[in-house]
Amino acid sequence: MLHLQSLPLLCDSKIADNTPFSVLHFSNNNSSVGSSRVLDVGLKFSKQSSGGGSSGRGLSSKARAKTTTALNVYGRRAHESVLEEEAPQKLGFKTFPGQAFPFGASQVENGINFAIFSQHATAVTLCLSLPQGGKFERPDGEMIEVALDPKVNKTGDVWHICIEDLPRDDVLYGYKIDGPRDWRQGHRFDSSIMLIDPYAKLVDGRRFFGDASHKLSKFYGTYDFDSLPFDWGDNYTPPNIPEKDLVIYEMNVRAFTADKSSGLDPNTRGSYLGVIEKIPHLLELGVNAVELLPVFEFDEFEFQRRPNPRDHLINTWGYSTINFFAPMNRYASRGGGPRNASWEFKEMVKALHGAGIEVILDVVYNHTNEADDKNPYTTSFRGIDNKVYYMVDLNNNGQLLNFSGCGNTLNCNHPVVMELILDSLRHWVIEYHVDGFRFDLASVLCRGTDGSPLDAPPLIRAIAKDSILSSCKIIAEPWDCGGLYLVGKFPNWDRWAEWNGKYRDDIRKFIKGDSGMKGSFRYPGCWIC
């Protein structure tokens, strides 16, 4: 493989200290679902934010005038809510306590189960937007809010509920979460913000890339339990190319075909399907692997949500992850949305594999889109449990540590965050058949919960030893913005390869004809300095 280097085996050592959290034990039976309650009560409705996505749901509504106290789904008093001027609408929910595993939205025998981890939350509300014509249709422009009872819907640090008869697809959902407001202890709870489920397998919102008419759109989790499994074909076989033989072409899915010079139909340009059209070009170049710049859901308008020196820019590269499971829905052709994005991504992988080209994802687990404390963009982790998901400096008023250069640093070696990352990686291998991953600023993954470097990072070891991931290409960008430069000494367990930045820069300068580069090109030993 070009620009990669094998490294010696390192011995395992102590596991990093972690913030205490509840450990759960799960069984394979369904006893945790519990008994059901058929409820016919006035539920709380909330207005969805203006500037919503282009999914045709009508994501705005007029304010309501009358205020009253409603009952939540457990028949207990809820907070005062702004309701319809008429009597509260009655909706027949049949709910179960639900189960704490798996995280995210899952289909179970009793309905759709929702489970989310938050160690420090004191209140969790599930918010639902149902498709028009559903069994319990909501007023246009509003979301149904279902308050979870910690005595019924909480196991350890996991909040959960099961709702019967929800549609099997096309439901938007999110959470509102409250908890301690003590910033000095690292908390950033704000119950007014709708939050994306970290385990949402699909994310909906704006449908067309760069659509300024929906610049301030919100993003919501969604799911699809209705589509048939993707047909990979009876004779489908991944290329399985040895690392030493890889010739990797780094590319951005959208930018690769977005321009009219691509010669593609306008509806296909900048999409996963557009990559398929250009496979002959890739073969002509002689590459046998593509490394896709981030394809996890991100917000290209993140810089334009507030006045700042960069508010004229659109993020086209994607190094600003909103969710680690969902493919970028605006890379679907014709604004097809998250379900089509998932299907077309698989079509792309299948076609590339059929041409003998592997698919490696450039993944960003060192930070998220949620920025810093000065200009936060809260969409998920920050509002769910900031102290768990991010590294915070409790000796400096709970400020976010920043080893990524982007305002926050994911707390990768916290057990819960580590499992999230492992689950995400496995999802892309099992569901989407990708061949490997290149980890952006991978030295962040080698830091403990307090930011200190670890000799044997639990996450790095877990990826190398995982029964699924260990057979993939796993490539580290072995440095971060905090000065942890690990080129030539990245902890690898005989599995991790490295991008070598000095090798790359020296070769590029030599080919360009820069002066003084003959010596560097002649002596490869200096490439791993």
Other CB atoms within a 10 A radius of the CB of residue 280 amount to 9
Strands 90-96 and 154-155, sheet pairing: unpaired
Nearest residue to 124 via CA among 95, 154, 86, 100: 154
Rounded CA-CA distance 524/526 in Å is 5
DSSP strands (E only) in 308-435: 358-363, 392-393, 399-400
Q: Is residue 359 within 8 Å of 434, Cβ to Cβ?
A: yes
Asked whether the bond before 102 is cis by omega within 30 degrees of 0, the reply is: yes
Dihedral sign (CA 383, 389, 392, 394): positive
Residue among 374, 443, 368, 380 at smallest CA distance from 413: 443
Cα angle 110, 113, 117 (rounded to 5 degrees) comes to: 150
Query: Closest Cα to residue 449, out of 266, 186, 223, 174?
Result: 186
Q: Point out the catalytic residue in the list 142, 145, 440, 498.
A: 440
Catalytic residue among 299, 477, 480, 506: 477
Look-up of token digits 């970290």: 198
d(CA 298, CA 417): 19
Cβ atoms of 65 and 27 closer than 8 Å: no
Sequence length of the chain is 529
SS (H, E, C) 339-363: HHHHHHHHHHHHHHHHCCCEEEEEE
| CA nearest to 272, candidates 164, 349, 174, 162 | 349
Q: Catalytic residue at 440? A: yes
435 is known as an active-site residue: no
Report the distance separating Cα 515 and Cα 502, nearest Å: 16
207, 198, 210: which is closest to 159 by C-alpha? 198
Residue numbers annotated as active site: 440, 477
